[in-house]
Structure 1
Amino acid sequence: MTTAAILIFGYGNPGRGDDALGPELVAAIESEALAEVECQNDMQLQVEHVTDLQGRQLLLFVDADASCQPPFHFSAIRGEKDDSYTSHAMTPHALLHAFQQVYHQEPPPAFLLRIRGYQFELGESLSRQAGGHLDAAIDFVQQRCRQPHATAWQESATPDL
Structure 2
Amino acid sequence: MTDSDKILIYGYGNPGRQDDGLGAAFIQKVDDFIIQNTLHHIVTDCNYQLNIEDADTVSKATAVVFVDASQEENIEHFSLSEVDASDARVEFSMHAVSPSFVIDLCRKIYGVTPIAWLIHIKGYEWDFKEEMSEKAKENLEMAFDFFKPFLLTKQPLTLINALTTEN
Deviations 1:59-111 (A, max 9, x none): 100000011422100011111111429xx811101111111110133x11100
Structure 1 segments (4+ residues) deviating >3 Å:
none
CA distance in 2, matches of 1:155, 1:43: 31
Q: What residue ranges of structure 1 are gaps of 5+ in the alignment?
A: none
Query: What displacement does 1:57 show?
Result: 2.1
Aligned counterpart, 2:45: 40
Q: How does 1:1-161 map to 2 (within 5 A)?
A: 3=3, 5-33=6-34, 34-67=39-72, 68-84=74-90, 89-105=96-112, 107-123=113-129, 125-147=131-153, 148=156, 149=158, 150-157=160-167
* Secondary structure of 2:118's aligned partner: strand
Q: Deviations over 1:105-129 (max 9, x none)?
A: 3x11100000000001112510000
Name structure 2 gaps, 5 residues minimum.
Answer: none
CA distance in 1, matches of 2:6, 2:28: 18
Which structure is higher in helix share?
Answer: 2
Percent identical among aligned pairs is 29
Query: Structure 1-normalised TM-score?
Result: 0.87
